[in-house]
């Protein structure tokens, strides 16, 4: 038997890719959601006129993408698209090299400035209440630097609610995907807050100003408030990384 080359592998087979694309189209054009059932592999093979091997390899492609879940003897089910792999990669980079945090903050700035503007245009009353509740949660845990991990969780809940308020599913997916590395960034910036000011009052105030602009349907104000908040975050990161003296010396 001749050894197979990379081009001969099932996932490179054009027929396999066609079946995979058929399934993607089926999922998205029908607006299928997590838990919805797809035809079985046997049914798909018969309907599409291909072998079960081709269908099996196509479903593996979609499983790797996080679009479906397949169990032997059962129908295929739709899964919620998951960008967690991207977040895991970012988290590994941050843990391996703390100097990557400012770069991650640049990514966060690009994402959240636009999120603030969109939220000011599209937020519902429920969205606003969700953000307000997140701020109250921050206040409850903002008592001591010893609870900074809980503070980072509470802070993150505000920004997750903000992403939802944009009404843009891709913003939500990106925020969810980056949850782990952004949590790490928040832990460091909040530590810097405690070192620099001895409290999280400016962090809480920053969130309140963002929310006020969103509630008033003021996109430009929301962007400015977010920019100010992220500038404070940048300063706090510098404090955590280099100590308070380094920040004072550079100011």
Q: Are residues 41 and 132 in the same domain?
A: no
Q: Are residues 169 and 214 in the same domain?
A: yes
- What confidence score (pLDDT) does residue 92 get? 78
Tell me, yes or no, whether 1 lies in a domain. Answer: no
Tell me, yes or no, whether 184 lies in a domain. Answer: yes
Q: Given 78, 113, 137, which residue is the final one in a domain?
A: 78
CATH of residue 60 = 1.10.10.10
Q: Given 63, 78, 93, which residue is the final one in a domain?
A: 78
Q: Which residues form the domain of 91?
A: 84-250
Q: Are residues 20 and 114 in the same domain?
A: no
Average pLDDT, the chain: 87
- What confidence score (pLDDT) does residue 245 get? 44
Q: Are residues 70 and 129 in the same domain?
A: no
- What confidence score (pLDDT) does residue 168 get? 95
Q: Are residues 92 and 58 in the same domain?
A: no
% of the chain residues with pLDDT over 90:
60
- What DSSP string describes the chain? -PPPPGGGSGGG-HHHHHHHHHHHHHHHHTT--TTPBPPPHHHHHHHHT--HHHHHHHHHHHHHTTSEE--TTS--EE-----HHHHHHHHHHHHH-GGGHHHHHHHHHHHHHHHHHHHHHH--HHHHHHHHHHHHHHHHHTT-GGGHHHHHHHHHHHHHHHHHHTT-HHHHHHHHHTHHHHHHHHHHHHHHHHHHHSSSHHHHHHHHHHHHHHHTT-HHHHHHHHHHHHHHHHHHHHHHHH-HHHHHHH-
Q: Are residues 110 and 216 in the same domain?
A: yes
Q: Are residues 125 and 59 in the same domain?
A: no
> Residues 35-52: what's their mean pLDDT?
90
Confidence of residue 177 (pLDDT cuts 50, 70, 90): confident
Number of domains in the chain: 2
Q: Give the best-scoring range by mean pLDDT among 95-99, 162-166, 241-245.
A: 162-166
Q: Are residues 92 and 211 in the same domain?
A: yes
CATH of residue 111 = 1.20.120.530
Q: Given 58, 78, 98, which residue is the final one in a domain?
A: 78
Tell me, yes or no, whether 173 lies in a domain. Answer: yes
């Amino acid at each position: 038997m001749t050894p197979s080359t990379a081009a001969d592998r099932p996932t490179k087979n054009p027929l396999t890719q066609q079946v995979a694309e058929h399934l993607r189209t089926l999922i998205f054009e029908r607006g299928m959601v997590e838990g919805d059932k797809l035809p079985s592999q046997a049914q798909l093979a018969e309907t599409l006129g291909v072998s079960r091997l081709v269908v099996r390899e196509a479903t593996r492609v979609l499983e790797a993408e996080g679009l479906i879940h397949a169990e032997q003897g059962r129908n295929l089910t739709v899964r919620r698209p998951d960008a967690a792999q991207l977040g895991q990669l970012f988290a590994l980079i941050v843990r391996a090299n703390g100097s990557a945090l400012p770069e991650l903050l640049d990514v966060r700035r690009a994402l959240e400035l636009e999120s603030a503007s969109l939220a000011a245009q599209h937020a519902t009353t429920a969205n606003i209440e969700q953000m307000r509740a997140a701020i109250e949660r921050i206040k409850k845990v903002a008592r001591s630097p010893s609870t900074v991990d809980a503070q980072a969780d509470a802070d993150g809940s505000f920004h997750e609610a903000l992403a939802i308020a944009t009404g843009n599913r891709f913003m939500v997916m990106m925020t969810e995907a980056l949850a782990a590395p952004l949590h790490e960034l928040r832990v460091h910036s909040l530590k810097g807050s405690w070192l620099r000011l001895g409290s999280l009052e400016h962090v809480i105030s920053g969130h309140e100003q963002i929310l006020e602009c969103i509630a008033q349907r003021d996109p430009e104000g929301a962007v400015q408030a977010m920019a100010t908040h992220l500038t404070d975050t940048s300063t706090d990161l510098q404090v955590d990384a280099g100590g308070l003296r380094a920040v004072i010396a550079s100011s």
